[in-house]
Each structure stands twice: as structure tokens, then as C-alpha cells.
Amino acid sequence: MANTKKILLEHINVPGIETYEVYRQKGGYTGVEKALKKLTPDEVVEEVKKSGVRGRGGAGFPMGMKWSFLAKPEGVPRYLVCNADESEPGTFKDHYLMKCLPHLLIEGMIISSYALGANKSFIYVRGELMYVIRILEKAIEEAKAAGFLGKNILGTGYDLELVVQPGGGAYICGEETALLESLEGKRGNPRNKPPFPAVKGLYQCPTVVNNVESIATVSWIVNNGGEEYAKIGVGRSTGTKLISASGHIRKPGVYEIELGLPVDEFLNSDEYCGGIRDGHHLKAVVAGGSSVPILPAHLFMKTANGEGRLMSYESLSEGGFATGTMLGSGGFIAMDETTCIVRNTWNFSRFYHHESCGQCSPCREGTGWMEKVLHRIEHGHGNMRDIDLLVDVAKKIEGNTICPLGDAAAWPIASAIRHFRDEFEWHVTNPGAASKPGAVYQHLNEMSV
């Protein structure tokens, strides 16, 4: 589809786009000028509401609605925090966006802060990405020199200070309340909700936490209008989305797609993933980062009703968790038939075991337990009741934890067993063969795609 609209990555290939001059030449910061000079903060919020853009961090909560929930008591500062602590396995879009287009994020931050009435905003960047932090800081200096940041921006009387904060190096700090704790200088433990950050967030003041990609879309929305943005995409999934494609595909990378693109086209067309590597075929797909349920190829390409799936929030979650998944943060991992699902599930569970914050008991103990059981099955020491045990433990973690990390740890395991139970059983019944490196169970009734 050559006519796919590029909103975020329009100028990605322009040399020097990370500098202020080139970005400005390509029409950068016009959104700031328009918003600050012509629109009131409420009008900006209204435009974002009209656009129907949904949070790109994973949960897909409408951004305009989140903004309108922000409490506005008198005399209390409000904060905008950009969540750039992207650590979900399989997702690397924010990293790419910040590295290549730092000014797009800064422009979005200025407009969003103006809309929310925040005079100090934070970008909480994953601590491992030190070089990205330097890029952002350089870009902020450039924007300040050009008069887009600091006191009295463009003579409108609006002040904004932008602070880049390196993260503490934990996956859990990507959860919004844990992020706020970490930003305050405390241990990154998620808070109990309610109160939600919109009422009591950073330093107990009303706060909005948004993903990098969500904030980056704001300048386009302000420039072109929310209604124009809502025309892109399908149904309630409006606009474009960055997908970080990885795995056994010919062309891994970050792609901007219009929501509603058929998955078949995304996977197989040369413009995007370019199909599965030669001589192999698709076995399973993790559609939105490691936290979402894994789907076997036939259920990924077509829903249980036989309709072709689209890359959109609604279409991917069709069929619930029984036969569907989620778009999540757009971490698209394709696996061909050489992938051992048990090993892959174990690998994911190892990650969640390592990253659980240890605050609430189901997640703290359950993630470790599931990892140990999966390790046993993968290494040929499992037995049949371990499989049911995993399902039961996953069920007892899911929904009973403070933050969604418990769900994120339980879903991939529950779905892997739901769809690939025979593979787990093969590991139990053939411990010798299954525990060899690279051993993969061949499905007898494999669906070809």
C-alpha cells in the first residue's frame, strides 16, 4: 500500500532531521505556534478528543479522555510526564522515535503541557538508553535557544521547563504510578489505585502520564485537526501506529502502519515485514509485546469466525482471550516452525520473574514459581500435572495484583498452554528429546498459511 499515510515517520529519512534547523525546515514546531498563538488549552484537548487517538503504551486508553479526567484544583501545579521507559520485550518503537526524531517528541510535549496547563514536564527515559538521553537534552537546548522552551514561549506568556530523567533500570518503572514513585526518587513500586494519577500523581499533584508515541502524534493533530486524524484508521482505532517488528521475518524494523491494515499484508508485503524467512513458515505470533497472549498462526491470520484479521485494537482482540490477543504496545514478534514455544514461554516468564517488583504476593511469588515450573518442563523434568498447575497459578495471579504486571506475566503462559498444549505434553512425555538444544515439536496438523 504505497499510499499509506505517514504521520510520525514522514521525514525519518531526511538527513539531519534530529537537528533543530532541518526539523524546522520540514515544518517542525508549526504545531506549537498554532496551539500557543491561536488555540486555548481546552481547544487543544478538544482536538485530541476528536481525534480519538488511543494511548500507545499498551492499554489503548483514549488519550483525550485521560486528559479530560485531569483534576484542576486552584493553586496546585499540574504535571505532564512522558513515559519513555519502554522495556517490553519485543517493543522498540519509542527508542527509535526518540533517537531519530527527538524534536517531534519535544514539540508534542510543549503542546501537551500547554493543553494541560503544566509548567514543568518530565520525560522519564529508560536508564539504559543514555545516548538517547543525550540526544534529547541536546534537542531541548536547541529548542530553548529557538525560544520554544523556557520563559514566555513565543511571547505568549506561557512558561515551560522540560526535564529529562534517566530511569532506574526496571521494567516496572514503566507502570505509570511506579514511574511517578521513581521520578520522586523513591523505590519504583506501583501505588494503590485509587487515587489515580489524574487526581494525585507526581508529588501528590494532578498528573498525566503518556507514552512517547502518543505525545508525538499531538503536533500533527493540532496542525491538521482532530477530525482529519480520526479519518485515518478503522472504527475506534484511529490514526497510525508504530509497530516494532522482530522475529523470523525478512525485514525486522519499526514500521508505521495505518490501523486497520490487514495482518496478511503487514506480514507478507515487501513494504513491511517482507514475509517469513525463506523455506520456513509462520508458527506463532506475539502481536503486541511479550505481555499479550501468544496466538498460533491460523488464529492470528484469521479470527475464529474465519474473517481476516486487521492490525487494529478491536480486530486483534476479537474472540477475547480464547482466540484473540491484543495490539498492546505494538511489539510484533513472528516465530517460524523452528521456535520451541515452551522455551519461548519460559524465556518470557524468566523476564517477568526478574522484573516483578516484589510488592504484592501473587506476583512476587507466582512469577518465580511459574518460571521454575517452566524451567523444569523445558529441561525434561516436568510431569503432566505441572501443566495444569501453571494454568491454575496463572489464573490466581491474573487480576489479583496491584498493577498489570501480574496479568502480563500470566497471560503469555496461559495462552501458550491454551494454544500449544500438545507441545508442553510432548516435552513431558519425551524429556530426552525435548531438552536437547534446538529440539522442536512438529505439529501433526499444522495449519499452513
Q: Which residues lie near another protein (CB under 8 A)?
A: 170, 172, 187, 192, 194, 353-362, 364-369, 372-373, 376, 389, 393, 396-397, 399-402
The distance of closest approach from Cβ of residue 436 to another protein in the complex, given in angstroms and rounded to an integer, is 23
φ, ψ at 313 (rounded to 5°): -60, -45
Report residue 230 CA to chain centroid gap.
20
Residue 379 in grid coordinates: 529441561
CA 110/CA 366 separation, integer angstroms: 42
Nearer to another protein, 202 or 397 (CB): 397
Name the DSSP letter for residue 5. Answer: -
CA distance 358 to 239: 37
- Closer to another protein by Cβ: residue 25 or 361: 361
* CB-nearer residue toward another protein: 120 or 187: 187
Least distance (Å) between residue 328 CB and another protein: 19
- Residue 432 — left, alpha, or beta (φ > 0 → left; ψ -120 to 50 → alpha)? alpha
Residue 195: Cβ-neighbour burial (10 angstroms; 0-12, 13-18, 19+): middle
Burial of 277 (0-12, 13-18, 19+ CB in 10 A): middle
Instruction: State CA 28 to chain mean position distance.
Output: 25
Query: Smaller CB distance to another protein: residue 19 or 347?
Result: 347
Cell of 295: 496466538
The answer, yes or no, to whether the previous bond of 77 is cis (omega within 30 of 0) is no
Closer Cβ to another protein, 355 or 378, answer by number? 355
Comparing CB distances to another protein, the nearer of 269 and 400 is 400
Cell reading at 34: 498554532
Q: Which residue, 164 or 360, is less far from another protein as judged by CB?
A: 360
Q: Which is nearer to another protein, 18 or 355 (CB)?
A: 355
**Least distance (Å) between residue 291 CB and another protein:** 16
The residue (of 267 and 360) whose beta carbon lies closer to another protein is: 360
For β-strands 294-296 and 282-286, DSSP reports them as antiparallel
Nearest approach, Cβ of 171 to another protein (angstroms)?
10
Measured between alpha carbons, how far is 271 from 12 in angstroms, rounded to an integer?
A: 15
User: What's the CA gap between 234 and 414, in Å, rounded?
Assistant: 30
The CA distance from 139 to 103, in Å, is 6
Beta bridge partners of 79: 120, 207
